[in-house]
Chain A
């Protein structure tokens, strides 16, 4: 079993839709959670960073962490074609030497 599970997609949605991306994890010691966006043949770009359970909002993006269920989500409101990319969840242990454990990424396509 992988430490972090993420549906690879592809996920296709119409422009303007609300997108829900999710990751589950098995190690309850993960304390820091991140979402990265990666365009084709580019490096990952940090979108959201959270520590505690609950919601964090930044513009059209909302990150949700449920530590009791070991489940994290990223919601994208009013999705745009420019949101088409691969979304990677990543997490880190407390004092884990900053080593990130990544999900496999979900490929998102927002269509006109």
Chain B
């Protein structure tokens, strides 16, 4: 199956700092990438959808100025958590969708655990 790489896998930061998370599709071109947030023992909640070269579409209740998403190329999307606070601590997961025959399938990265002190 397709491979999606997410980096870093774990980050600890001080309150008020910004953190950037990268999501790369390694062996396919991702026309669309998705960013999810997952709290312990809960399901994935979609935060935003990004298409290469255009602005991300945010889900209701997600602050676009807080969670900056850039999808500059067909293989890379980044999520920046700006001025992070302890309540932003969570597990962030990206996924990517190709434009090929399996375009209905999302392939997920391994996730990034963010801990804000």
**Is A71 close to B, CB under 8 A?**
no
CB distance from A56 to the nearest CB of B (A): 14
A-B contact count (CB 8 A): 54
Contact digits for B66-99, partner A, Cβ 8 Å, 1 yes 0 no: 0000000000000000000000000101010100
Residues in A with CB closer than 8 Å to B42 are 104
Q: Which of B49, B91, B113 contacts A98 (CB 8 A)?
A: B49
Q: Is the Cβ of A32 less than 8 Å from the Cβ of B104?
A: yes
Q: Is the Cβ of A43 less than 8 Å from the Cβ of B46?
A: no
**Is A41 close to B, CB under 8 A?**
yes
**Is B61 close to A, CB under 8 A?**
no
Interface 9-residue window, one of A44-52, A62-70, A77-85: A44-52
B contacts, CB < 8 Å to A: 1, 4, 6, 32, 34, 41-44, 46, 49, 91, 93, 95, 97, 102-111, 113
